[in-house]
Amino acid sequence: MATKYPTAPLILGLIMDFFIRNFFLSVPSIILLIIGIWLKPCLYIALGLILLDLALCINGWLKIKRTFETESDNPGFKAFQDAVGSHGWREGSKLFVEKRLSQQHSDSESD
């Protein structure tokens, strides 16, 4: 069964990636975009930087989506895929993390 990657985390991840991970591309492009109101070359440079930033973000998140949707032999990742794909992504990921934390807690007590 193919697991489908939820859309909401994909969009949230793209937005966060655009502004945070590629900070050194997004901030200068926004500044140049403002300057581009008066100087057209700055506007074109800003649009080019925004397109580059967007292309890098989309490429990265498509790799994540493709990895999530492929079959995995790793039982931990398979459990994560099932948790996020079968339930709502928020509830499924919350239950998965709580289950993992309780397993680690019980393992540490037994040592």
What confidence tens digit (pLDDT) does each residue in 2-53 have? Answer: 667 777 778 888 888 888 888 888 889 999 999 999 999 999 999 999 999 9
77 vs 47, more confident: 47
> What was the pLDDT predicted at 87?
61
Phi–psi pair at 106, nearest 5 degrees: -70, -35
Same domain, 1 and 41: yes
Instruction: State whether 35 and 79 are in the same domain.
Output: no
Query: What would the DSSP string read from start to end of 31-89?
Result: HHHHHTTT-HHHHHHHHHHHHHHHHHHHHHHHHHHHHHHS--S-HHHHHHHHHHHHS-H
Domain span at residue 104 reads: 73-111
Lowest-confidence region among 25-39, 52-66, 67-81: 67-81
The confidence band for 70, taking pLDDT boundaries of 50, 70 and 90, is confident
CA dist., res. 102 & res. 11, Å (int): 30
As for how many domains the chain has, the answer is 2
- 48 and 80 inside one domain: no
Tell me which residue has tokens 């032999």: 73
Q: Which of 40-44, 66-70, 75-79, 85-89 has the highest mean pLDDT?
A: 40-44
Residues 39 and 86 in one domain: no
Q: Which of 6, 26, 7 is nearest to 16 (CA)?
A: 26
Q: Same structural domain for residues 1 and 25?
A: yes
User: 1 and 28 share a domain?
Assistant: yes
Lowest mean pLDDT among 24-28, 62-66, 106-110: 106-110
Q: For residues 33 and 22, state if they share a domain.
A: yes
Amino acid in the structure at residue 72: S
pLDDT of residue 39: 94
Same domain, 101 and 49: no
Q: Report in angstroms the alpha-carbon separations of 23 from 29, 69, 94.
A: 10, 28, 29
Note whether 35 and 11 are same-domain residues.
Answer: yes
Q: Identify whether residues 33 and 9 lie together within a single domain.
A: yes
Task: Examine the domain organization and report whether 9 and 28 are in the same domain.
Answer: yes
Within this chain, do residues 30 and 56 fall inside the same structural domain, yes or no?
yes
**DSSP structural state of residue 22:** T
